[in-house]
Chains A and B, each alone.
Chain A
Amino acid sequence: MNLRKLLVCNGFAFVIFLALPGMSLAQDDLMSMLEAADSTESESENTIATFKTTRVINAQTTEVLKAKSLIFNINHRFGNVTTGGHGFFGFDEASNIRFAFLYALTDQWMICIGRSKVNEDIDGNTKFKFMSQTMDNKTPISMAWYSNIAFTPRISPQNPDGSDRWTKAAHRFSYTHQLIIARKFSSSFSFEILPTLVHRNYVNDLTNERNGGEESNDLIALGFATRLKVTQRIAVVADYFYTFSKFRRFNSDFPYNAPLGIGIEIETGGHVFHINFTNSSGIIENQFIPNTPDAWNDGDIKLGFNISRVFYL
């Protein structure tokens, strides 16, 4: 009798024991089961929109376009704000205008052709994004390589004896090479640094009398750029370049200031507008890294805007 009771009891315990795995499949666990099954095979997506456009104000970004899309880009810099009422605070002037077409050959690689008012420069450039930050941070940064070549067709500057300084076509070429390293720290804050080399085939033979620094064909600069999203469609953007040139430091004959741009970015569907203030009239690196005479301190800043429109072909 006792033995039978024991067996029955054990039997019940056995039933409960056997039923346990079945019970663990009940109702609310289905979602967590799915999550567990899912997490084993989830792959990482690339971070999007580190920056909204291919350039901030003066600086390039790691952004490229999707294959076969075309961007038409207008960059405009008005005159110095300090012109005052008679020049309507710079609006009467255009210190630089650049039109550019950008085309994406692949999802990583794009090419561009542009024309600026400054030096009448015609430039071609290419950008290749070879590393993309991922959502899971396994790849914490994005990296891109940017190179350009600019041709300056304007009338050559003259020597004191009246002859042309640029005697060969090669004298009119300059180049930029740049590594762009960016990280999107949060959905509203992105930052990038841009080690840059600008090479000009021809430079004037000049020396800074104060420190003996000589003008050189190669200029190394380090750029910084950032984007801070304020609302869903408006962001504050800024960029800055520091040029390592002894010749350019405290040179009263050749005033130079580091180009600094601060702007507001507004996004409306297919357009992205940048309204900005910058002390540089140059738009491409070949212009603003060697030559930015105006200073923020003196109020010699220019209002400018960038508009880019995307077309899908």
Chain B
Amino acid sequence: MAQLYQTQRAMRNMRQAAMQRGVIAILDVGTSKIACLVLRFDADLRPVADGVGSMAGQSAFRVIGAATTRSRGVRFGEVAAMAETERAIRTAVQAAQKMAGVRVDHVIATLSGARPRSYGLAGEVEVEAGQVTGADIGRVLAACEMPDYGDGREVLHAQPVNFTLDHRSGLADPRGQIGQTLATDMHVLSVDATSIENLLFCIKRCDLELAGLASSAYVSGISSLVEDEQELGAACIDMGGGSTGISIFIRKHMIYADSVRMGGEHVTGDIAMGLQVPNATAERIKTFYGGVHATGMDDREMIEIGGDSGDWEKDRRTVSRAELIGIMRPRVEEILEEVRARLDAANFECLPSQQIVLTGGGSQIPGLDGLASRILGQQVRLGRPLRVQGLPQAATGPAFAGAVGLTLFAAHPQDEWWDFEIPAEGYSNRSLRRAFRWFKENW
């Protein structure tokens, strides 16, 4: 627990130190594209307008540079070829810096793969002074029993999502309240350490310093779910290029995250294999003509798929759109089925509200919401990321849910509970304090 506390605290300090500098970069390392946003923090938390607050820190920053580039060397949201990835990051960072006109030294990065795994932790302590203080919160966080999440894994997020004080559950901030027993539920997300290290090394090779790391599923949820969905319970499905992230939110906290190692690139691969075309052509066909619902009209709409073989017959091939949909649909269904399985494993159906929000570049397939509602449940909508100040129009699509979510994460991270000191372990300290208390009570 002490190690978790230290790493969380270190990450928090790192991010705050970087934000003190004023300019910070957001790096979304995805399988199909790498997006880089440059944020300028003004530390100006004044209300934006009459009746509008600081909007959870969103008014404090502004996007001053944005760039995106085709991703290289990333597979399933994990770095597969270091040099390629490094070059892609360099491209994105350079373009964003050029647009911003400032040099960026610190980046907050997100990664979508790395096999996230969620754990629910519970801790319980006796309240010392009758009234809950910051020290009690630190102790209850320390009292959580760490699960054995295995070697070679790191905790990426650890957030207390709920506090219970003497059978009164659902407390967001128990400080100052009077009670006997303080219990907490903590959500811990662990990922593969090697993926993090690889990404870290790539970023370091670009002369940048990592100021924070977040799970893509989590940050997509922050940006795509609206406030009441986050409050009442919703799942965000971030359909990326190489992996599909799932995050479940309730009471504004993520309680579960997972990722399915399938995404848009697999659909493209299926098309390329099915139609015998290069990947680039398959991608083009998918984005122009893709869909998941075939109608009678689609049988008549013929798509020239072309080819560079020099063979006239091969280069003049056409397929109907229905055929294309016939290739795409099973793969999309497979992804959604897998997501369904993960949601079932997380007992999503027990939540009071079962809103499902589809976001990410893959969610732009026409007709996906209809297919998803058939597989995932009735309450499905397509989500776009929140608008933040200064974001270019080109970066407002659902493909940028991760990047935009990361800006929100930078402005309003939900890890402020780690500011409380965790009591140093050891008997001597406690006995000394007990002696002191005895002394105070008897004199």
Are A and B co-members of a single complex?
no
Binding site for A on B (CB under 8 A): none
